[in-house]
Amino acid sequence: MNSIKGLRGTGGTMRIIRASLLTLMVFAAISSGFGQTAKPPFTITISADKPTVVAGSHVYIKIKLTNTSDHNVDRSTAYSNGLDRKYIYDVRDEDGKSVEKPGEHHELNGVSLAMGELAPGDSVDGETRITTLYDLTKPGQYTVQLSRYIGNDEKQGVVQSNTITITVLPAEDTSSTQK
């Protein structure tokens, strides 16, 4: 107790504050390293088969999965009516609202699985039909982004793709695209 009083009398209060701040900064630096995620083991790049379509057309998204790690990664697919269910889809209208079709989707009950791994540095191309699950029948612009779980455990996180825009034209306007 006397040593604390002595420190206060000779500018010790400032030294205590500095020492406390330094200690907090060290603990913050150490703990922030634990919260950071490592570089994802793969990347997902998407593009539109046709970035402009006529209302009522099927919309296909091309997917490129690239292994950026030093070990094999899962490249399995799970297709159901043209939609690869290994991906998480985020499809939104111009107002930022999800355009997922409401209700139960019995058309997604049957799944065709293909298991496999992707070697380090390798890529695989795929395609998915987002109109199986998303309603793109109204003219306008829609944004699409895909995600995929890093591993079998959701706690390992997800990797997100780039975001693309799909333009849907009225059915009578066929000047820019085909069905």
Question: What does the pLDDT look like over 22-60, one tens digit per residue?
Answer: 444 444 444 334 334 578 999 999 999 899 999 999 999
In the prediction, which pLDDT does 29 show? 42
Residue 157, helix vs strand vs coil: coil
Residue 47, helix vs strand vs coil: strand
Mean of pLDDT values over 70-79: 93
Greater confidence (46 vs 15) lies with 46
- CA dihedral in degrees (163, 118, 150, 68; nearest 10)? -70
In the prediction, which pLDDT does 21 show? 46
Question: What does the pLDDT look like over 99-137, one tens digit per residue?
Answer: 988 766 556 666 788 899 999 999 999 999 999 889 999
What stretches of the chain adopt beta strand conformation (E)?
A: 42-48, 52-54, 60-67, 73-74, 77-80, 83-84, 87-92, 112-114, 117-118, 123-129, 140-149, 158-169
Mean of pLDDT values over 59-86: 93
Per-residue confidence at 7, pLDDT binned at 50, 70, 90? Answer: very low
Residue 25, helix vs strand vs coil: helix
Closest CA to 143 of 159, 123, 158, 160: 160
Tell me how far apart the alpha carbons of residues 118 and 9 are, in angstroms, rounded to a whole number.
67
Around Cβ 154, how many Cβ atoms within 10 Å?
9
In the prediction, which pLDDT does 101 show? 80
Is residue 3 scored above 70 in pLDDT?
no
In the prediction, which pLDDT does 169 show? 96
Write down the pTM of the prediction: 0.72
Tell me how far apart the alpha carbons of residues 96 and 178 are, in angstroms, rounded to a whole number.
26
Contact 127, 155 (CB under 8 A): no
Question: What does the pLDDT look like over 145-179, one tens digit per residue?
Answer: 999 999 877 888 999 999 999 999 998 755 555 54
Query: Residue 85 has which token pair?
Result: 């269910």
What's the chain's length in residues? 179
Tell me how far apart the alpha carbons of residues 179 and 53 are, in angstroms, rounded to a whole number.
7
Where along the chain do its domains lie?
2-35, 42-169
Provide the CATH topology of domain 42-169.
Answer: Immunoglobulin-like (2.60.40)
